[in-house]
């Protein structure tokens, strides 16, 4: 599972970087979203994937033998929320670029 | 004065409260002025006492929520952090006074002071974070505040600059998160002290060096290190001059701070590899930055490129990795923050007088404004490192450290860069101050009246200039603090012991 997820993370990064290099602003935003998700998945995989049990102490006080690490999940949650903030700001910024100086793609930034 | 350990949270809480209260008074200019100046003054006083307390009683540590060290979020303040927080508070107050006059009313009502104080909070947070992920969060806070300040007003140039700045910052954040993932994957912890212990116990783990590169990249982008500095001259010259002054002083220095923290505390297992990369990057940063400055023809752009070349000197101090070199780097950071902010604020004065900062459209400032010219002259010489001004001492320390480490080619580049800095400052001086006036401006005021009318803009400039001269002639106190901080950095076992409590 970790093997396939690792390859998937790599593919997501590749797709994200391809979109970031695109000259269209909408695709840039999609690239930001995809790279954000790729980093989140990367942390998830780096924290090892454990199935079946959550990080809870059982009713009789014993600790389960193997359980999913809660820290990467907390990190991902935080990173995703921050990512949403940046994506929202990026969308608004590109909207302003469309409206105010009438810039429609990355190449026009140079003028 | 004995401060409790939890008081290291004050540099975060005070700007937060200031910003939040300002938010409630967003229609009233006067109330916002009062609140933000009061908040900045309080922060300055707190930071001063914190520095004294850290110097007397050693490193201060707070575990947020009472969770013990490797599990919870830790905030740490050593002398290096305390110096940086104090300089932030001082420059924050100065720019705040400057902004009272420099920022338009609509922008204040939109929340200039709110985001300004959120930015200070993010910067202070990054300086005190003791947890890698927490550091990332503070970085994001200061980034989002800086995006808004950069785009405030929706000028065309500003929006274009913000796009470039935002995309590069986003890529940096993504790399930082990947680094966090690697570190967590190999060590199972994100507490800086705990990770440092892990790296010392497993120096052969090849993934540590991989992680080091993944941290070098984002911090390098944020510090504007070669070859990742192109966003800086594209975005910094565009917003209001108070914003530029504050950014140029502090934002890149947060990146330098993080680099120094990580590459003295955590990633020291393969110095021959990582610190050589830093050394080469530092040399190229110094040289290419100053070449960029020579090619520009507006004060804002020339000064923006100078930020880059100065960053090179600081990283040089880190790369040489001796106590003397680190002390030089810390000294350099402090004096650079003061000088750079001052130079941009003087550029603001020039723009106020002449209406532009493009070199070929101004001239004759020395004739009609000798005092403003003198202020620029002092700051410019200090930037180039001419004795007796403040820029001389850290350059001297760094070059001495370079000789001790026998890295002669870097010293040569450093000295040439200093000369070229002087040359490009001379260019501004000749064009803007000495040359004949291009066109007579009827509305130009007498200098004394100008200074009186714009006292909120001139007072901070004069204050910082006095500081620059003071540091130049009486450098011992700052030198002492810098070498104390460098000693602590070179001896991380103190830090680790204090945080982990063993």
Q: What kind and span of H or E run contains B75?
A: strand B74-77
Closest residue by Cα to residue B328 from B337, B339, B316:
B316
* B262 — pLDDT class (breaks 50, 70, 90): very high
B32, B113 in Cβ contact below 8 A?
Answer: yes
DSSP A104: -
| Residues B304-319, mean pLDDT to the nearest whole number | 91
B468, B339 in Cβ contact below 8 A?
Answer: yes
Distance (Å) of CA A36 to CA A16, A40, A111, B170, B272: 9, 6, 30, 9, 33
Task: Report the SS3 class of residue A67.
Answer: coil
pLDDT at site B102: 84
Most B-contacting residue of A10, A33, A39 (CB-CB within 10 A), to test interface = A39
Cα–Cα distance measured from residue B431 to residue B448, given in angstroms and rounded to the nearest whole number: 23
pLDDT at site B443: 65
ipTM of the complex: 0.91
Q: What are phi and psi of B264, to 5 degrees?
A: -110, -35
| Residues A28-35, mean pLDDT to the nearest whole number | 91
| Nearest CB partner across the interface for B163, out of A75, A85, A109 | A109
Residue of B nearest to A36 (CA): B174
Whether the per-residue pLDDT at B163 is higher than 70: the answer is yes
Cα–Cα distance measured from residue A39 to residue B404, given in angstroms and rounded to the nearest whole number: 42
Q: Each residue of A66-94: pLDDT tens digit?
A: 778 888 888 999 999 999 999 999 999 88
Whether the per-residue pLDDT at B447 is higher than 80: the answer is no
Name chain B contacts of A21, Cβ cutoff 8 Å: none
Residue of B nearest to A25 (CA): B163
| Residues B494-500, mean pLDDT to the nearest whole number | 88
B6 CB-side CA count, 13 A: 4
Average pLDDT value for chain A: 86
Whether the per-residue pLDDT at B30 is higher than 80: the answer is yes
Cβ neighbours, 10 Å, residue B497:
12
∠ Cα B428 B431 B436 (to 5°): 150
Q: What are phi and psi of B380, to 5 degrees?
A: -65, -45
Closest approach of B174 to chain A, Cα-based (Å): 6
Residue B215, phi-psi category: left (phi > 0), alpha (psi -120 to 50), beta (remainder): alpha
Average pLDDT value for chain B: 89
Cα–Cα distance measured from residue B255 to residue B262, given in angstroms and rounded to the nearest whole number: 11
Name chain A contacts of B184, Cβ cutoff 8 Å: 43, 46-47, 71-72, 75
Q: Residue B201: is it exposed, middle or buried by C-beta count within 10 angstroms (0-12/13-18/19+)?
A: exposed
Cβ within 8 Å, pair A39-B181: yes
Q: What are phi and psi of A52, to 5 degrees?
A: 75, -55
Cα–Cα distance measured from residue B271 to residue A95, given in angstroms and rounded to the nearest whole number: 46
Closest approach of A65 to chain B, Cα-based (Å): 18
Cβ neighbours, 10 Å, residue A7:
10
Token pair for residue B410?
Answer: 């870097």
| Nearest CB partner across the interface for A75, out of B166, B170, B180 | B180
| DSSP letter string, B402-462 | HHHTT-HHHHHHHHHHHHHHHHHHHHHIIIIIISPPSS--TTPPPHHHHHHHTHHHHHHHH
Name chain A contacts of B182, Cβ cutoff 8 Å: 46
Cβ neighbours, 10 Å, residue A88:
11
3-state SS, one letter per residue, for B266-320: CCCCCHHHHHHHHHHHHHHHHHHHHHHHHHCCEHHHHHHHHHHHHHHHHHHHHHH
| Nearest CB partner across the interface for A93, out of B133, B140, B166 | B166
What percentage of chain B reaches a pLDDT higher than 70? 98
| DSSP letter string, B363-412 | --HHHH-HHHHHHHHHHHHHHHT-TTSTTHHHHHHHHHHHHHTT-HHHHH
Q: What kind and span of H or E run contains B61?
A: strand B60-63
* B356 — pLDDT class (breaks 50, 70, 90): confident
Mention every residue, 6+ apart, whose C-beta is less than 8 A from residue B160: A97, A101, A103, A109, B234, B238
Cα–Cα distance measured from residue B365 to residue B354, given in angstroms and rounded to the nearest whole number: 9
| Residues B225-245, mean pLDDT to the nearest whole number | 89
Whether the per-residue pLDDT at A53 is higher than 80: the answer is no
Token pair for residue B181?
Answer: 């993932």
| Residues B17-26, mean pLDDT to the nearest whole number | 90
Name chain A contacts of B214, Cβ cutoff 8 Å: none
pLDDT at site B440: 63
- Chain-centre distance for alpha carbon B260: 13
Residue of A nearest to B178 (CA): A39
With a CB-CB cutoff of 8 Å, which residues 4-63 of chain A face chain B?
Answer: 20, 28, 32, 35-36, 38-40, 42-43, 45-48
Cα–Cα distance measured from residue B377 to residue B177, given in angstroms and rounded to the nearest whole number: 43
pLDDT at site B338: 93
Token pair for residue B354?
Answer: 């002449």
Cα–Cα distance measured from residue A82 to residue B163, given in angstroms and rounded to the nearest whole number: 18
pLDDT at site A40: 92
B342, B419 in Cβ contact below 8 A?
Answer: no
Cα–Cα distance measured from residue B316 to residue B40, given in angstroms and rounded to the nearest whole number: 32
pLDDT at site B430: 87
Helix, strand, coil shares, percent, chain B, to 5: 80, 5, 20
Q: Residue A63: is it exposed, middle or buried by C-beta count within 10 angstroms (0-12/13-18/19+)?
A: exposed
pLDDT at site B502: 63
Under 8 Å CB pairs connecting chains A and B tally to 84
pLDDT at site B439: 66
Cα–Cα distance measured from residue B422 to residue B391, given in angstroms and rounded to the nearest whole number: 12
Q: Each residue of B389-444: pLDDT tens digit?
A: 888 888 989 999 999 988 889 899 989 998 999 988 888 888 888 887 766 666 67
Residue tagged 């954000």 (tokens): A36
Most A-contacting residue of B159, B208, B214 (CB-CB within 10 A), to test interface = B159
B226, B312 in Cβ contact below 8 A?
Answer: yes
* B160 — pLDDT class (breaks 50, 70, 90): confident
Most B-contacting residue of A5, A16, A80, A97 (CB-CB within 10 A), to test interface = A97
Cα–Cα distance measured from residue A93 to residue B28, given in angstroms and rounded to the nearest whole number: 27
* B2 — pLDDT class (breaks 50, 70, 90): low
| More reliable by pLDDT, B139 or A56 | B139
B268, B322 in Cβ contact below 8 A?
Answer: no
Whether the per-residue pLDDT at B174 is higher than 60: the answer is yes
| Nearest CB partner across the interface for A100, out of B154, B170, B171 | B154
| Nearest CB partner across the interface for B159, out of A48, A89, A96 | A96
Whether the per-residue pLDDT at B18 is higher than 90: the answer is yes
Cα–Cα distance measured from residue B376 to residue B345, given in angstroms and rounded to the nearest whole number: 10
Cα–Cα distance measured from residue B376 to residue B365, given in angstroms and rounded to the nearest whole number: 11
| More reliable by pLDDT, A8 or B188 | A8
B288, B421 in Cβ contact below 8 A?
Answer: no
B97, B459 in Cβ contact below 8 A?
Answer: yes
Residue tagged 């100053």 (tokens): B290
| Nearest CB partner across the interface for B159, out of A47, A86, A97 | A97
Whether the per-residue pLDDT at B40 is higher than 90: the answer is yes
Q: Residue B68: is it exposed, middle or buried by C-beta count within 10 angstroms (0-12/13-18/19+)?
A: exposed
Cα torsion through B361, B364, B370, B371, rounded to 10:
-10
∠ Cα A44 A11 B135 (to 5°): 40
Q: What is the largest CA-CA distance in chain B?
A: 72
Whether the per-residue pLDDT at B218 is higher than 80: the answer is yes
């Amino acid at each position: 599972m970790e093997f396939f997820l690792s390859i998937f993370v790599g593919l997501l990064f590749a797709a994200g970087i391809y979109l970031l290099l695109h000259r269209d602003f909408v695709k840039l935003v999609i690239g930001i979203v995809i790279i954000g998700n790729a980093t989140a998945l990367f942390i998830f995989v780096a924290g090892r994937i454990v199935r079946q049990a959550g990080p809870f102490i059982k009713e009789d006080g014993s600790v389960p033998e193997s359980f999913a690490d809660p820290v990467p999940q907390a990190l991902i949650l935080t990173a995703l929320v921050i990512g949403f903030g940046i994506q929202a700001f990026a969308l608004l910024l590109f909207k302003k670029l469309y409206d105010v100086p009438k810039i429609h793609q990355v190449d026009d930034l140079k003028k | 004065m004995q401060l409790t350990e939890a008081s290291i949270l004050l540099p975060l809480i005070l700007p937060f409260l200031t910003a939040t209260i300002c938010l409630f008074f967003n229609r009233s200019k006067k109330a916002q002025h009062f609140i933000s100046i009061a908040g900045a003054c309080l922060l300055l006083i707190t930071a001063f006492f914190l520095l004294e307390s850290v110097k007397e009683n050693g490193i201060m540590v707070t575990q947020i929520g009472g969770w013990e060290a490797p599990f919870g979020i830790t905030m740490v303040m050593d002398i290096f952090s305390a110096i940086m927080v104090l300089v932030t508070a001082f420059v924050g107050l100065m720019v705040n006074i400057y902004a009272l006059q420099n920022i338009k009313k609509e922008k204040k009502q939109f929340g200039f002071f709110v985001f300004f104080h959120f930015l200070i909070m993010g910067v202070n947070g990054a300086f005190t974070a003791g947890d890698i992920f927490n550091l990332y969060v503070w970085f994001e806070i200061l980034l989002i505040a800086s995006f808004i300040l950069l785009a405030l007003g929706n000028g065309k140039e500003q929006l274009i600059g913000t796009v470039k700045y935002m995309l590069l910052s986003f890529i940096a954040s993504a790399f930082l998160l990947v680094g966090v993932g690697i570190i967590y994957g190999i060590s199972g912890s994100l507490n800086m002290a705990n990770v440092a212990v892990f790296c010392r116990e497993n120096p052969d783990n090849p993934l540590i060096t991989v992680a080091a590169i993944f941290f070098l990249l984002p911090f390098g982008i944020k510090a504007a290190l070669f070859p990742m500095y192109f966003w800086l001259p594209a975005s910094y010259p565009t917003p209001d001059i108070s914003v530029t002054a504050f950014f140029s002083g502090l934002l890149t220095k947060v990146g330098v701070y993080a680099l120094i923290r990580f590459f003295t505390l955590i990633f020291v297992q393969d110095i021959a590899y990582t610190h050589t990369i830093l050394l080469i990057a530092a040399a190229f940063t110094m040289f290419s930055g100053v070449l960029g400055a020579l090619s520009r023809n507006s004060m804002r752009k020339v000064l923006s490129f100078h930020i880059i070349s100065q960053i090179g000197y600081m990283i040089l101090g880190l790369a040489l990795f001796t106590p003397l070199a680190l002390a030089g780097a810390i000294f350099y950071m402090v004096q650079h923050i003061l000088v750079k902010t001052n130079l941009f604020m003087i550029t603001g004065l020039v723009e106020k007088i002449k209406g532009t900062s493009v070199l070929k459209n101004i001239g004759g400032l020395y004739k009609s404004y000798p005092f403003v010219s003198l202020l620029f002259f002092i700051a410019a010489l200090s930037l180039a490192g001419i004795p007796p001004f403040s820029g001389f001492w850290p350059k001297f320390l760094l070059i001495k450290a370079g000789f001790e480490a026998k890295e002669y080619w870097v010293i040569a580049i450093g000295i040439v860069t200093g000369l070229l800095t002087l040359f490009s400052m001379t260019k501004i001086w000749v064009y803007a101050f000495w040359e004949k006036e291009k066109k007579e401006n009827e509305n130009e005021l007498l200098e004394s009246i100008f200074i009186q009318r714009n006292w909120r803009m001139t007072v901070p400039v004069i204050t910082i200039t006095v500081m620059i001269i003071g540091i130049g002639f009486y450098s011992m106190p700052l030198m002492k603090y810098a070498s104390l901080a460098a000693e602590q950095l070179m001896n991380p076992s103190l830090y680790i012991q204090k945080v982990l409590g063993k």
